[in-house]
Structure 1
Amino acid sequence: MTRLSVEMLAADAPPPITSAGHAQLGIAVLVGIAVIVLLITKFKLHAFLALTIGSLALGAVAGAPLDKAITSFTTGLGTTVAGVGVLIALGAILGKLLADSGGADQIVDTILAKAGGRAMPWAMVLIASVIGLPLFFEVGIVLLIPVVLMVAKRGNYSLMRIGIPALAGLSVMHGLIPPHPGPLVAIDAVGANLGVTLALGILVAIPTVIIAGPVFSRFAARWVDVPAPDRMLPQRASEELERRPGFGATLATMLLPVVLMLAKALVDIVVDDPTNMNQRVFDIIGSPLIALLAAVLVGFFTLGRPAGFSKERLQQTVDKGLMPIAGILLIVGAGGGFKQTLIDSGVGQMILDVSKDWSIPALLLAWLIAVAIRLATGSATVATVSAAGLVAPLAADMSTTHTALLVLAIGAGSLFFSHVNDAGFWLVKEYFGLSVGQTVKTWSVMETIISVVAGGLVLLLSLVI
């Protein structure tokens, strides 16, 4: 178990903005989270506003001066957006380019043409996992829903037998694998190595998605045996195009940022010399900014040109890709502001003080904190950024691999039991035509399986590496 010298951390950290004791800080955290939950669920307030108000409520109950609480929130917001905002924007552009060019359809159709019968759930996992790498969860759902409904109807499958593997692939990518916003923010907060986190994340993701996807879908199909809802399928991008990109070019474009980031991690491990020219080159091309930027620029030629996109059409695609992410950027930024308010109020140090004598591994503690925030707020991203801020001091004396595992533990906990305060819950319910109870039996249980299996694998890896 990783332990810290609390006294050393206290000496290095800036003084908190409040002198509140542990009990008052604990109450402040509960009040802040409760305000966020009530504003989002009861009053249907936008998550950005709810996080802003919740951060101020946290600071007020903790006894922090209002000006310092505001400074903490704005500092955290600015730092978070500066760290991941450009990456989110590039990911959105790449996702829109994949969708509009028909490249994503090409991936889907090629895999489905080679799968059938019992192999179909496994094909859906593969499709969702590959598409889920550069796309936000909600975008991935919208992109895959027509395919899921089409396959279920064409093959006379239970909707859950096909839908659960697709949802599992998307959810695992969203929670564990950078460049998704949650993992990126956690990596930044705890100072983890992105390449190592990506490699270990893939290692954890593969068995997790198998268990929560094809394996669990057998049980989900028995519990909730529903056909694909009889509704009009959304028009697919390729139906509007005379031609579309090839399978190989599309797949290579989608995987390019992952390959570059993994290459950087491998070179860092093998060479381990910051002055080495090769390592410096890979440090540049393997940085998430350059890796995603390269994928977007390559995509203009491998996706846009085969689809017959003009320069004006490419510009429109970029514009349309950027427009929907304003809300996401603000929510992620406000989550970072809430995280910084927690840290500056001394909540992170309080957790260290309270838990230093617990016989509980640091990774398990991080998972439990993320679970608690996820259950309270309903947002995996909010749970990730908030938990990362709370447990960041735990990474002070961790090795590179264990710091990466800390990020994955947080990500796993952030996926635990999606329920009625999660937008994803309602998205799945409405698209698949389920009742609330049926959604809990399928989607909510699937999310819990992902969280528990991934968390268990992270703890297991911590014992052997």
Structure 2
Amino acid sequence: MLMALSTSSPLSLLPTATPAPSAAPGQLVTAALLGIVLIVVLITWAKLHPFLSLTIGALATGMIAGMLVGAVVTSFTGGFGSTMGGVGILVALGAIYGKLLADSGGADRIVDTLVSRATPRTLPWIMGLIGAIIGLPMFFEVGLVLLVPVIILVARRSGVSLMRIAIPTLAGLSAMHGLVPPHPGPLAAIDALGANLGITLAFGVIVAIPAIIIAGPLFAPLAARWAPVPVPALFLSAEDEGDTARRRPSFAATLGSILLPVALMLLKAVADIVAPGSPELWKTVLDFLGTPVIALLIAVLVGLLVLGRGAGFDRARLNETVGSSLGPIAAILLIVGAGGGFKQVLIDTGIGAVIASFVAGSSVSVLLLAWVVAALIRVATGSATVATITAAGILQPLTESLDQPMVALLVLAVGAGSLFLSHVNDAGFWLIKEYFGLSIGQTLKSWTVLECLISVAGLLGVLVIALFV
């Protein structure tokens, strides 16, 4: 089951074994810190494009860490290709779907409904709920590319600042990603630690709700002051361009097309729980349809029919929409791919093994230890998935003396730690930065703080529950 989960992730870079450290611990830590500083300096001071900065920083990090030049290049290109093969395809499909949603007027239907039935005060809370629902069965990147058009159009149409809309939505997506099964991350930790799925699910929901509230609607006003950016000129809709008389698809058709990939991925997740590894035809079909790339591809094809035809588009107009959607995301794809390459260089240096050795034999509370291990690996490698799997593997021997409620809390402590401090070695960091037109500083003050709030709130929730079990 573990291997099936790891290969389905769009950011799947999980090694079959923890890489051996390529140098002494001090050298590895120095290499990681210098690489991160170099990237930030190149982008902010030298004004070098993030793609080139990430590439240079990754190569420098690997060589400082003692890797051979050929090995560094192989590691970087492997990480770049793996990320592009997962996230790159998802971003491209999401861009096509988002442009179709905007051009057809379908996004207008959704946005008009949300804006007309909510006040500026309640809108962030509604967006947080939408993010949580969409994020439950989905990888973060999939939910993000589906919801970016809605976030941008809601902010543009409502007059509410972009961060007040985006932050609650992102909080809902991210909390589900790290804390609540049947999301694949928590499921992998459940499998590795032998936790009870039902108990973990119940505790996960209890922990996730306050984390979303704190990092979403409550933090959003502060994020809006720290990152006062205008709404990006993306996904301009018919109404935004003054064409309000044109035919639009119905609300039901639009909502159905948005929820279709959510339903497909949720069905796959449920099937993985009910019949893991089953060779039966129905399970094979659900595994195929629920794969993120396939689910989004189906959403695009259905969107071409339901949204395009619902708006009265002919074939030429549909092709124009698809073609015009891809150009604006070229820079995003290259930056995200380079971020994945940098992350893989860090993983291949073996810094995760160094962190594991630092905490071995610690007398700290097992739940706090789990959070710290996952957080350190996340900060060092940039991958929540790698942090979850690695930390679960390190902590597995500790579960022999724990009852099932405590093992479930251990899973959630690992999940909370895996979300901590997203920064320049995380491909998700660059997705948020580029989609919403933020500077590195603004991304750190909004997205990175949001992730830290979810992580710390998640840990506190776990520790509070532990007092009663």
CA distance in 2, matches of 1:404, 1:43: 41
Name the residue aligned to 2:158: 148
Name the residue aligned to 1:293: 297
Write the mapping of 1:314-353 to structure 2, written as runs, cut at 5 A.
314-353=318-357
Name the residue aligned to 1:367: 375
Name the residue aligned to 2:117: 114
Deviation string, structure 1 residues 12-66 (Cα, Å, up to 9, x no partner)? 7486583x21111111111111111211222222222122111111122122221
Distance 1:454 1:269, change over 3 A: same
CA distance in 2, matches of 1:252, 1:108: 15
Deviation string, structure 1 residues 279-305 (Cα, Å, up to 9, x no partner)? 122111111122111111111122111
Deviation string, structure 1 residues 61-117 (Cα, Å, up to 9, x no partner)? 122221221111112212222233222221221122112222122111113323348
Residue 410, structure 1, aligned to residue 423, structure 2: no
Deviation string, structure 1 residues 167-203 (Cα, Å, up to 9, x no partner)? 223322564567xxxxx9989999999xx9xx89994
1:464 shift after superposition: 11
Task: Kindly provide the amino acid, as one letter, of the partner of residue 83 in structure 2.
Answer: T
The correspondence for 2:279, drawn from 257, 275, 278, is 275
- Contact 1:94 1:295 survives alignment (8 Å): yes
Name the residue aligned to 2:165: 166
CA distance in 2, matches of 1:66, 1:106: 53
Aligned-partner SS, 1:240: coil
Using the size of structure 1 for normalisation, the TM-score is 0.71
CA distance in 1, matches of 2:96, 2:204: 23
- Contact 2:419 2:452 survives alignment (8 Å): no
The correspondence for 1:99, drawn from 95, 99, 102, is 102
CA distance in 1, matches of 2:187, 2:49: 25
1:450 shift after superposition: 4.0
CA distance in 2, matches of 1:324, 1:103: 21
1:165 shift after superposition: 4.5
CA distance in 2, matches of 1:353, 1:271: 37
CA distance in 1, matches of 2:438, 2:99: 23
Which is worse superposed, 126-135 or 140-149? Answer: 126-135
CA distance in 2, matches of 1:205, 1:349: 29
The correspondence for 1:246, drawn from 244, 250, 260, is 250
Residue 88, structure 1, aligned to residue 91, structure 2: yes
Task: Kindly provide the amino acid, as one letter, of the partner of residue 47 in structure 2.
Answer: K
Alignment root-mean-square deviation, CA: 4.9
1:262 shift after superposition: 0.9
CA distance in 2, matches of 1:129, 1:363: 22
CA distance in 2, matches of 1:50, 1:67: 19
CA distance in 2, matches of 1:404, 1:323: 40
Size of the aligned set, in residue pairs, is 412
Distance 1:253 1:351, change over 3 A: same
The correspondence for 2:288, drawn from 284, 292, 301, is 284
- Contact 2:51 2:338 survives alignment (8 Å): yes
Task: Kindly provide the amino acid, as one letter, of the partner of residue 339 in structure 1.
Answer: K
Write the mapping of 1:14-413 to structure 2, written as runs, cut at 5 A.
16=20, 18=22, 20-116=23-119, 119-125=122-128, 133-135=143-145, 142-149=152-159, 165-173=164-172, 175-176=174-175, 203=205, 206-216=209-219, 236-238=237-239, 239-240=242-243, 242-358=246-362, 359=364, 360-370=368-378, 372=379, 384-385=382-383, 388-389=385-386, 392-396=389-393, 406=414, 409-411=417-419, 413=421
Which is worse superposed, 442-451 or 239-248? Answer: 442-451
Distance 1:393 1:254, change over 3 A: same
Task: Kindly provide the amino acid, as one letter, of the partner of residue 362 in structure 1.
Answer: A
- Contact 2:130 2:172 survives alignment (8 Å): no
Aligned-partner SS, 1:305: helix
Deviation string, structure 1 residues 293-342 (Cα, Å, up to 9, x no partner)? 11111111221111122211211221222222222222222222222212
1:396 shift after superposition: 3.7
* Gaps in structure 2 of 5+ consecutive residues: 1-14, 136-142, 178-182, 400-406
Distance 1:214 1:188, change over 3 A: closer
1:243 shift after superposition: 1.6
- Contact 1:369 1:413 survives alignment (8 Å): no
Deviation string, structure 1 residues 235-269 (Cα, Å, up to 9, x no partner)? 64334251212111111111111111111111221
Task: Kindly provide the amino acid, as one letter, of the partner of residue 96 in structure 1.
Answer: K
- Contact 1:140 1:170 survives alignment (8 Å): no
Distance 1:74 1:235, change over 3 A: closer
Distance 1:331 1:146, change over 3 A: same
* Gaps in structure 1 of 5+ consecutive residues: 1-10, 153-158, 179-183, 374-382
